[in-house]
Amino acid sequence: MLPTLRQLQYLKLLNEHKSFVAAAEAAFVSQPALSSGIAELEKALGVRLIDRSRGQVILTAVGEDVLRRAEDILARAEDLVEAAKGANRPLAGRFRLGVIPTIAPFLLPQALLKLRQEFPQLRLFLREDQTSRLISSLKSGSLDAAVIALPYDLSGLDHAFICKDEILAVMPKDHPLSQQAEIEPEALKSAELILLEDGHCLRDHALAACQWNAPGAGDVNQALNGGFAATSLNTLVQMVDAGLGVSLLPEMAVESGLVERSSVAIRHLRSDHAYRDIVVIWRAGSSRSAEARLLAGVIARR
């Protein structure tokens, strides 16, 4: 006997809420009905999925593996439903899009206006988060696509290119480096460098722009770990404007006016690696891949 989608949904909700009562409420069923569904799922699979001996909901090792597979099955089932609803009507109905914070406010406003004009039946749900969490949501089926920056590991994902985004040096206007037309990455090693805190991929892209995340660059990473770190690009610009150091910013943020009210200087880096690729990503094999590619095309025409 095969598991049902409903049983797999019960398992997913149970893991999310860590409570049979809360999971049953989320599934709009009674607690006995949900408990029975989980028991039937365990019987069908011939394994124990939930460790009930500790008085709390904890998945067994097998249960965690089953959950990962269940999330993929449920995501594909949702894809099937959405694809059927949107047959011959691309980008109609619900579309859940993730985007990283260092892209969202600078790339999306004009793109969203175009999407509304060209696809009036589209109901776009946006989620702003860091790349690692967006990819987890994609793979679990909580998102249909996401806008992120490369390089990044895209195992199990497909992508479509939007644009290149140059990485620029930013510093106080009276800083010695501001006298140069272009900045050598090596010159930044002696400066007080401020980047975003760990978890933001722009931090890694900034280091890659200077080729400081390559083998032998440990001294730079060690120095950064003991320095300032910003939680957002706005905070980062304010810290540079206050004379606390120099930093690296994406060109799209500069073009969007992020530094207009500050007294900072912007300079190009003398590096062939001073850029990041902006892309739309989605689950490999997703039935919404054509729509994700279409979305990337609209954003690229912003």
What DSSP string runs through 248-282?
EEEHHHHHTTTTTTS-EEEEEES-TT-EEEEEEEE
Average pLDDT score over residue span 274-295: 92
pLDDT exceeds cutoff 90 at 142: no
Q: What is the distance between the alpha carbons of residues 8 and 72, in angstroms, rounded to a whole number? A: 10
Asked if 185 and 269 count as a contact pair (C-beta separation under 8 A), the reply is: yes
Indicate the pLDDT class of residue 81, thresholds 50, 70 and 90.
Answer: confident
Which pLDDT score is estimated for 54?
63
CA atoms within 13 A on the CB side of 145: 23
Average pLDDT score over residue span 35-60: 86
Q: Which residues of 117-139 are buried (b: 16+ CB within 10 A; e: fewer)?
A: eebeebebeeeebbbebbbebbb
pLDDT exceeds cutoff 70 at 53: no
Overall CATH class of domain 91-302: alpha beta
What are the CA-CA distances from residue 260 to residues 33, 44, 65, 193, 252 (Å)? 59, 62, 50, 21, 13
Which pLDDT score is estimated for 160?
97
Which pLDDT score is estimated for 222?
45
| pLDDT > 90 in the chain, percent | 48
Which pLDDT score is estimated for 226?
46
Which pLDDT score is estimated for 38?
93
Which pLDDT score is estimated for 135?
94
The full set of domain ranges for the chain reads: 5-84, 91-302
Q: What is the distance between the alpha carbons of residues 107 and 109, in angstroms, rounded to a whole number? A: 6
Which pLDDT score is estimated for 223?
45
Q: Which of 11-25, 41-55, 74-88 has the highest mean pLDDT?
A: 11-25
**Mean of all residue pLDDT scores within the chain:** 86
pLDDT exceeds cutoff 70 at 250: yes
Which pLDDT score is estimated for 253?
93
6-47 residue pLDDT tens: 999 999 999 988 889 999 999 999 999 999 999 999 999 999
Average pLDDT score over residue span 182-208: 84
pLDDT exceeds cutoff 90 at 88: no
Overall CATH class of domain 5-84: mainly alpha
167-184 residue pLDDT tens: 999 999 989 988 888 988
Query: Looking at per-residue confidence, does 130 or 92 come out higher?
Result: 130
Average pLDDT score over residue span 226-240: 82
Indicate the pLDDT class of residue 245, thresholds 50, 70 and 90.
Answer: confident
Which pLDDT score is estimated for 227?
58
Cis peptide before 151 (omega within 30 of 0): yes
